Chain A
């Protein structure tokens, strides 16, 4: 699937297109499919997101969204070397999801 990601203009937080707004959780991302570019352009123009782009992702075994490339997974979660600073500091499995 193709999911959309970008950064919040004011805060810089990594965000994901949920179908109606931008969430910091990649689990909320939807398949934007062929609409991806059009959505990105509209949302960027309205300044609801900064520098959006589409990436490949899959549904994993639990139905969660897993970006295809490790870089995007690190972006989704946070630095692997500082689990305390990621979105899931208390989850010991979070690092495995990235790698």
Chain B
């Protein structure tokens, strides 16, 4: 079973992730944890020093973390974006698309299920900043390259 699924080559950050509140007091923290009610944009001035942002999903049905992840990636954050908490294998591919590159689920995944979930969708309908070209782009490639 997989307890930490990670799609990065660099070494994981050793420091514990601090809360957003205490982050403002600890100007040298490199890891922070966002709760669903936190505003990801509060972190925008500090993206350079952050190497890890954990986004907590206390309940898999609370989807605020998906928006938080995209907001951070859209702002140029290229550190580790980790989904923690009630993260289920069936949300993996959606979370990847929103910019998460590591996962620390409360209930460890079956690696085969994780692999199946991540390879489920060969194409995607939307542009989400994850680098995958959406179907609407592929459809008009000939024209746009013409």
Complex: A in contact with B (CB within 8 Å): no
